[in-house]
Amino acid sequence: MEWLLEPFAVSFVQRALWGGILVSLICALAGTWVVLRGMAFLGDAMAHGMLPGVALASLLGGPLLIGAAASAGAMALGVTALGRSTRISRDTGIGLLFVGMLSLGVIIVSRSQSFAVDLTGFLFGDVLAVRDGDLVFLAVALALAAAVALLGHRAFLALAFDPRKAHTLGLRPKVAHGVLVALVTLAIVASFHVVGTLLVFGLLIAPPAAAALWVRRVPLIMLGAALLGTVSTAAGLVISWHGGTAAGATIAAVAVGLFFASALATLVTSQLEKKRVHAS
């Protein structure tokens, strides 16, 4: 037990834990809809599409958060505009924007004297450098994400399972999709400067996907995702502390590992259930 608790006796690891928990909660609210709507590619593109704004803000000495928000907003508008085209598929449009924004970001970052350091910081973040101000910011972002998820729940639910019915019910699916993209953008922008795009995307997808294997109700998926994200954060920090590995990457790896463990468990459970039915 002392081996597990030892890392959390240090103040910066405690802040990293709280930061990871807050990110897990935000990502559980947004990531559940990403998984149910099959928007994983969009989430990945949004996460990496922030690089031009972050790089430009860094070079100009401006707030990174403003640069990330501007770049993510441009990405969201581009995805929406291309999604209305009947001649280009949504995935194609997202892919083109993804590569274009990422390439532009790398070009801008390459103008810096610390190219490798800047790019590594963007991808992996530094969860062990979380400050009290970052925790306050994440708490505010969590409250906003919870409000959006609560108010948009009915529209998001109809959009995820039957967009045509959503239109029939007057829920305006196009508007709901835009708000959903905004929720995903909020989760990514609020979290990336603390933990990097790798950890954000890992916690955005893996915990909800793992929870969705066991439960069907959306609130339960969100709860399961939040718990799995919290476990991934705590376990990742412990492994990182004792193994000397990168904290953010370790947390993301644990989250993905829990998904595959969950998938294997459901497969084994399904096979055992089939054998029991045949035996009876």
Q: Which amino acid is at 109?
A: V
Question: Of 86-90, 93-97, 101-105, 230-234, where does the model show the most confidence?
Answer: 230-234
- Which pLDDT does position 18 carry in this prediction? 94
How confident is residue 248, by pLDDT bands cut at 50, 70 and 90?
confident
Burial class (CB in 10 A: 0-12, 13-18, 19+), 111: exposed
pLDDT digits (tens, 9 = 90+) for 183-205: 988 898 888 767 777 778 888 99
> Is residue 160 within 8 Å of 183, Cβ to Cβ?
no
- Which pLDDT does position 255 carry in this prediction? 93
| C-alpha–C-alpha distance, residues 138 and 230, integer Å | 15
Please state, rounded to an integer, the average pLDDT across all residues of the chain: 84
How confident is residue 212, by pLDDT bands cut at 50, 70 and 90?
very high
| Token pair of 96 as six digits | 């083109």
Query: In terms of pLDDT, which residue wins out, 221 or 46?
Result: 221
Q: Is pLDDT at 116 greater than 80 in this prediction?
A: no
pLDDT digits (tens, 9 = 90+) for 16-33: 999 999 999 999 999 999
Return the CATH superfamily for domain 1-278.
Answer: ABC transporter involved in vitamin B12 uptake, BtuC (1.10.3470.10)
pLDDT digits (tens, 9 = 90+) for 132-156: 988 999 999 999 999 999 998 888 8
Q: Any idea where the domains of the chain sit in the sequence?
A: 1-278
Q: Taken in order 148, 65, 137, 30, is the CA torsion positive or negative?
A: positive
- Which pLDDT does position 102 carry in this prediction? 81
The pTM of the full predicted model, rounded to 2 decimals, is 0.86
| C-alpha–C-alpha distance, residues 31 and 18, integer Å | 19
| C-alpha–C-alpha distance, residues 48 and 154, integer Å | 29
Q: Is pLDDT at 8 greater than 60 in this prediction?
A: yes
End-to-end Cα, the chain, rounded Å: 44
| C-alpha–C-alpha distance, residues 262 and 205, integer Å | 14
Q: Is pLDDT at 82 greater than 80 in this prediction?
A: no
